[in-house]
Amino acid sequence: MNVRECVVKPTHYFLRHFQYFCRLLFQCIRSCQLLYLAMVLYHAGDMTDAIMQQHKELIINQRCLDLDHPDTAHSYGNMALFYHGLNQAELALRHMSQALLLLSLSSGPDHPDVAATFINVAMMYHIGNMHTALLSARSFETK
């Protein structure tokens, strides 16, 4: 064996994988930053910017974690709540349905997050009628 085979090739292999790992780590950190920024903007009442930041976080999670990761599903749920805050019920329900599907696939249908998402969907459907919303939520609990 020569020096190139013993030192250079393994070093090149290590550096290539280390760069990939660092890129993933940076994207995960960026995703967390965007999530917290979106939450702050949401609570400050700036729904449009909150949705923009949350959408960026959703894209990063889709690329880094894939669709079958619970954090990607939570990103969809956050988008739904932000759209709900803007009174855009159709977009909110579309994102909440996606969150429900992904959570069911990634965590299983009996996971508590799936039940909480069903409750959120019920509340969105019946925002003006609390009694009907609670009845819908109870019917989801029995499923």
Q: CA torsion sign, 41 to 36 to 71 to 113?
A: negative
The CATH number corresponding to 3-142 among 1.25.40.80, 1.10.1060.10, 1.25.40.10, 3.40.50.150 equals: 1.25.40.10
Closest by CA to 124, choosing from 68, 81, 74, 67, is 81
User: Alpha-carbon distance 100 to 120, whole Å?
Assistant: 10
pLDDT of residue 117: 87
**Single-letter amino acid, residue 102:** L
pLDDT of residue 44: 93
Contact status, residue 72 vs residue 61, Cβ threshold 8 Å: yes
Average pLDDT of the chain is 81
pLDDT band, very low/low/confident/very high, at 137 (cuts 50, 70, 90):
low
Cβ atoms within 10 A of the Cβ of 73, count?
26
If DSSP codes are grouped into helix, strand and coil, which group holds residue 1?
A: coil
| Mean pLDDT, rounded, for 19-33 | 81
| Mean pLDDT, rounded, for 33-56 | 92
Contact status, residue 68 vs residue 104, Cβ threshold 8 Å: no
125 or 36: which carries more pLDDT confidence? Answer: 36
pTM exceeding the 0.75 threshold for the entire prediction: no
Q: Name the helix (H) or strand (E) containing 110.
A: none
Q: CA separation (Å) from 62 to 34, 65, 73, 86, 139? A: 14, 6, 9, 24, 31
